[in-house]
Chains A and B, each alone.
Chain A
Amino acid sequence: MPEQQQTQYEPKIVAFLCKWCSSAGSDLAGVSRIQYPANATPITVMCSGSVSPQYILSAFRKGADGVLVSGCHIGDCHYLEGNYFARRKLYLVNELLQFIGVEPERFRMSWVSAAEGTKYSKIVRDFVEDLRPLGPQDKLKAQRP
């Protein structure tokens, strides 16, 4: 008789992936049949530089346990400079989230190219494992009603 297993807490990750590099990288992980946790909901954006702090705050406010923003490597941005702006802006978001007391593990950024399927899967896997002990995010999450 199979044992009734307690369902493990599965962190919900929202991943903003730039279309040209990171999103393609996640696709490569898929077609390469790399096994990795399915906790990240991907949202394709045109460029990591187009990720507004509102997207990140909104994801947390809707209950995301972790938020990932991933773009092209520095120098490789399809729009030349977008990821430079992302690096600057999202540094501040990262700092401010930690400043108000949100766990540093909850927000992260990565540079993942279209060829780095393996890297993408590792990033998600690591993210899930880092988030699991933190439990559900309830600091920014909107309490309804």
Chain B
Amino acid sequence: MINPQDLRTRARDLLAKGEVRAVIGYRRGSRGMAAEPVVITRPDDANSLVWDPTCVHNLALYLVEDCKQFAKVHQHPEKPIAIVAKGCDARAIVVLLQENYFKREDVYIIGVSCETVGVLDERKLAHHPAGVDLERLESAAFAGDDFVFTTASGEQRLSAREVMADRCLECRNPFPKTNNVVFGEEKARTLAAPFAALVRFEKETSTQPVRWSFWNHQFERCIRCFACRSVCPMCYCDECVVDSIAFAVMPDTTAEEKANRVRWIERSASRSDNIGYHMTRALHLAGRCIDCGECERVCPVHIPLRLLNTKLERDAREKFGYEPGASVEIASFVSSFRDDDPNDFIR
């Protein structure tokens, strides 16, 4: 088990010694027990860092934001930035390194192992028969294979596997292999088969009309808030191909370029545009999505977005032998091929 104080000490030391210019981590939020992302620059601020089951966010997103800030002013940071990274977050960093978004020496990875448990799924907790009062929760903590929740009236202990996020249950790599330092041990976790949620879905919607009826309903509900895209570290394009309005305009962009800009998908939330948006995003993430599950967590209308991404991730693994975020050295999925890639579907 990780002692959060060790994490804070390391962060403080790194900042005090000037080894890093900032630390991206988690701290307690103001709206209850949930942790929130924070970027600290002063050694004393390390006291605010937490590590608990509500640390669900993929902080690699803030690495991307940090890079963009420097790029905007055409500068390169002199010192690396440190980041607290779970197994999934570390794999996201690997993908970003694969794509040369920044250099390995620009980031100091403070790995945290989820060990035998993952992080909390608040929706599962809300439905749990133990009736933990989410509204009065003050904190959550790791305790071996359990989560311990503290409210004003006392503590409640639940088996973590009952309220863990699906993506944690299915996770095969809870240990952040790419790191500069790591807290917690590497432990095997086999709580659910990989792609269990996907398999369950395919069983429940086994005919084409039922399948379409499901997705038609989901795509009708999407309000195009773009939260799924905004929270994904891999969706870093300033000019999103499925956003007809996000256009990177420079002072020297010509009127002709602006007029001829192709509008693949409109901003309005029609079913057809929503399908185009979600399918394109899933395809652009093929071989890059490391299943942090954030897109599904943040969707305000609970569209099961993981299904789209894990479907392509399973294809990448099983049909193409490709695992996202496994190694910095290998080429990206869509920029590589094998002689024995599936060919039977081609006439």
Q: How far is the CA of A140 from the CA of B276 in the complex (A)?
A: 8
Cross-chain contact B276 with A88 (CB below 8 angstroms): no
Cross-chain contact B343 with A74 (CB below 8 angstroms): yes
Cross-chain contact B211 with A91 (CB below 8 angstroms): no
State how many angstroms separate the Cβ of B250 from the closest Cβ of chain A: 23
- Interface flags, B186-226, vs A, CB<8A=1, else 0: 00000000000000000000001111111110000000000
| Chain B interface residues toward A at CB < 8 A | 208-216, 241, 264, 270-273, 275-276, 279-280, 282-283, 286, 308, 311-312, 315, 319-320, 333-337, 341-343, 345-347
The 21 listed contacts between A and B (C-beta, < 8 Å) are A53-B279, A57-B279, A61-B272, A87-B337, A87-B342, A88-B320, A88-B336, A91-B319, A95-B312, A96-B282, A96-B311, A99-B211, A99-B308, A100-B308, A101-B209, A101-B214, A139-B212, A141-B272, A142-B273, A143-B270, A143-B271
A58 at the interface (CB under 8 A from B): yes
Decide: A57 near B280, CB < 8 A? Known: A89-B334, A140-B272, A142-B273. Answer: yes
Cross-chain contact B212 with A84 (CB below 8 angstroms): no
- Of A81, A84, A92, A100, which contacts B275 at CB under 8 A? A100
Which residues of chain A from 100 to 117 have any CB-CB distance to chain B below 8 Å in the complex? 100-104, 108-111
Q: How far is the CA of A85 from the CA of B286 in the complex (A)?
A: 13
| Chain A interface residues toward B at CB < 8 A | 53-54, 57-58, 61, 74, 81, 84-85, 87-89, 91-104, 108-111, 123, 139-143
Q: Which residue of B210, B211, B270, B346 has the most chain A CB atoms within 10 A of its CB atom?
A: B346
Cross-chain contact B276 with A61 (CB below 8 angstroms): yes
Q: How many contacting A-B pairs (Cβ < 8 A)?
A: 103
Cross-chain contact A140 with B346 (CB below 8 angstroms): no
Cross-chain contact A139 with B283 (CB below 8 angstroms): no
State how many angstroms separate the Cβ of A69 from the closest Cβ of chain B: 9
CB-CB < 8 A to A94: which residues of B?
345
Cross-chain contact A101 with B213 (CB below 8 angstroms): yes
CB-CB < 8 A to B336: which residues of A?
88
CB-CB < 8 A to A110: which residues of B?
346-347
